Structure 1
């Protein structure tokens, strides 16, 4: 059975590029999102997020009649779920968005349809998705009961793309596909091969789920090593950037670069899913999360030391202007999700009696929830001219090409002004 119509539920940083990729492969794509402004924006051929080449792809898809957005699911041959999976309480996975997506698409499911979960999820989430669908549609059969004879096929295929390079990596990267049965995997591979040039590698759903979590936990552990090393070097009076450069000359050493913490919707969240599933066994993974989560507090302490030094030099606390450079969770993007830089800026503004300036060249206004935080969004020249203390949190390209006045106290968490 061919996949002429594809529905993508969730039109965010992954869902919208994926919808555009299917549309470029001449599939009829129906994008679903619960936010009316997002639906309207896409139907005008415009985008609501910043991602290179995405605007061109969406405009072409909409104008060509291959992509349209809607608030409610409609009948399709394949459904991809790309909704958020945050955590709640004490880092417990929150599957409520997946549950809502399942219940919304269930009424339009037909025999022969394929449902693929793309959201990064804890092990067992695909089986839970199948259970929610089966409960909503007892007239259809699903893999957990009917196996290969199921009316509806279900698989898991996580995204593994880098913000800033999503449109290229969606096409070029290998995909891990875990079906609930061999038939589910086969059909999911057929779907993705319509635009993926990388290899589609088949496994089972649980292994595919764990693979995505493992990839991000691996990164988190290695970043934690670099962040812990930076704290040790600071205590011992060693330049960590020089040290890492020297150590990485060893042919089998590749230490990552330290920073103010770890952010984003993946690395800062996904390892907790492993910890939640195996709390007694995931000792190293938990410790890495704690190290990285603790780094913003260490940065705040360094700012406090700079403030104390300025006061010792005769400056009044309330007269000090502090500028933070960068709010995104990584360089050269506009994504503020789980950003340690944003966390540091908000906490600093909440406790500092003087002005706190923020420079983030990829946004034009601060998020509404920050309106009362006392952060003032300014451009790079203004911050450079007015700040007494500069805190470099994200190594955006404009910052690398900029120099600060020599009298300014600099706290550089990325090693570009050190």
Structure 2
């Protein structure tokens, strides 16, 4: 069965590019989101996120009539769920647990319009067992239809998991080129999912079961988290031993079998800073290294804040005529990684917020990819690089955006977490 109409639930950083790629192949695509502003923006042929080349694709798809956005699901042949999976509230020191509330809401929303022959794919990064939970929620809502947990290949509705594996800033290209892991709840679920993704995916679509597909995405990001934690721990050690960590890593990487990553202010984003907890929460006894890596990376922002406090002390000792209230601190970068506008789980955001909370003087943020600061940084001024460079007393480099790499900044009071100055 071919897929003539495709519905994407959740039009964020993954859902909208995915919807746009299907629409670019002349498929009718119905995007669904609870955010009315996002829906209205997309229906104007514009985008509400920053992602290279996506604006042109969305504009063409909307103009040609292949893509529309709505707030309530409509009938389709395939439904892709791409909604957030945040954490449940927890106390400091507790292991965060994933909150599947958005996924459950998406299931409840699409259930009334499901019909025999439909395919439902969970793209949201999820803990192991979430795809089976999706199938159960749908089965409970639609007792008149059969699902693969009971009917296998004979199910009326097929269900599968296919995690996204794209890099923000390169999403359009990687959606097409990257391999996809397809985890169906039955062989037919997998086969139909491959057929759907081959609409635009040029990479291989590798078939496995749903649980392994879920674990594959969590494993990829946990591996990356462990590697970053090693680099971040090295930076703490080198700071204590008065060794240049950037030079050290460069020297170590000359070994043919060593490839140490670069340290930074922590780990952010909707994947690497989140996904390892999905493993730890399910298997807290077994996931020792993964858990330790999370703790190392989560502690790095606090270390940066402490280094900033030390810079303030040093400045006051050298400038006895000034008070802390007269000191201006400039923080360079707010996004969770270079050259994007995505602030989700950003360690830079956490650091700037903490600095603004304790510092009595002015705090400036320089973020070339946004035009307005979030409400959580209401005490902070958004300024240009030139203003920050010329007016700040203390400089905190947090994100190595291309605009910053093209500049130079020499200061005795510089906290450089990226080693570019």
Other-structure match for 1:73: 73
Quote the offset at 1:310 in angstroms: 1.1
Other-structure match for 1:207: 212
Q: Which runs of 5+ in 1 are unaligned?
A: none
Other-structure match for 2:354: 347
Other-structure match for 1:49: 49
In 2, the alpha carbon distance for the partners of 1:175 and 1:33 equals 24
2:112 is aligned with 1:104: no
Cα offsets for 1:290-339 (capped at 9, x unmatched): 00000000001101111111111113111110000000000000000000
Q: How do 1:123-142 residues align onto structure 2 when only pairs under 5 Å count?
A: 123-142=128-147
1:292 to 283, 290, 297: 297
In 2, the alpha carbon distance for the partners of 1:89 and 1:131 equals 25
Other-structure match for 1:23: 23
Other-structure match for 1:321: 328
> What is the TM-score when the length of structure 2 is the normalising length?
0.98
Quote the offset at 1:408 in angstroms: 4.7
Runs of 4+ aligned residues of structure 1 deviating over 6 Å after TM superposition are none
SS of the residue corresponding to residue 41 of structure 2 reads helix
Cα offsets for 1:356-389 (capped at 9, x unmatched): 0000000010013432xx1111111100011000
In 2, the alpha carbon distance for the partners of 1:25 and 1:175 equals 18
Other-structure match for 2:58: 58
Provide the aligned length of Structure 1 versus Structure 2.
414
Are the equivalent residues in 1 in contact too, given 2:84–2:124 (CA < 8 A)? yes
1:370 to 361, 371, 377: 377
SS of the residue corresponding to residue 160 of structure 2 reads strand
In 1, the alpha carbon distance for the partners of 2:14 and 2:275 equals 16
Quote the offset at 1:407 in angstroms: 4.6
Q: Which runs of 5+ in 2 are unaligned?
A: 91-95
Cα offsets for 1:37-60 (capped at 9, x unmatched): 100000000000000000000001
Q: How do 1:113-262 residues align onto structure 2 when only pairs under 5 Å count?
A: 113-262=118-267
Are the equivalent residues in 1 in contact too, given 2:8–2:31 (CA < 8 A)? yes
Are the equivalent residues in 2 in contact too, given 1:332–1:362 (CA < 8 A)? yes
> What is the TM-score when the length of structure 1 is the normalising length?
0.98
Are the equivalent residues in 2 in contact too, given 1:261–1:340 (CA < 8 A)? yes
In 1, the alpha carbon distance for the partners of 2:4 and 2:22 equals 10
SS of the residue corresponding to residue 58 of structure 2 reads helix
SS of the residue corresponding to residue 31 of structure 1 reads strand
Cα offsets for 1:142-182 (capped at 9, x unmatched): 00111111000000000000000000000000000000000
Are the equivalent residues in 2 in contact too, given 1:178–1:206 (CA < 8 A)? yes
2:270 is aligned with 1:265: yes
2:391 is aligned with 1:416: no
Are the equivalent residues in 2 in contact too, given 1:390–1:408 (CA < 8 A)? no
In 1, the alpha carbon distance for the partners of 2:119 and 2:376 equals 38
In 2, the alpha carbon distance for the partners of 1:37 and 1:368 equals 18
Cα offsets for 1:38-86 (capped at 9, x unmatched): 0000000000000000000000100111000000000000000000001
